[in-house]
Structure 1
């Protein structure tokens, strides 16, 4: 049976570029840190997804 991961509150997100690769570092409220190495395509997709979500949020706020 599949289990869903625990939901945590993030306190810090850092994106850096080193030697042509991106590194995404995420820290949660308990101080746990996860570091991910991601490609340029993935970082572009993340940026696009965030941009779309923010645009939807702005649109919803403008309507209310």
Structure 2
């Protein structure tokens, strides 16, 4: 479960997803075996950070 400021949570997740997509579009090489695996790992890591402590207001 995610806790804390809803705006901060949504901003972190949006920024994470946008950043991962930008890396995949911008660079000619993939940073992982597949784009899906890369995106999943990036989002999983962001969620792990948000689950570790409540998100504070930005």
Q: Which bin holds the TM-score, normalised by the shorter protein? A: 0.3 to 0.5
Based on CA coordinates, which of the two structures has the bigger radius of gyration?
1
TM-score by length of 2: 0.41
Q: In proportion to residue count, which structure has more helix? A: 2
**Structure with more of its chain in strand, by fraction:** 1
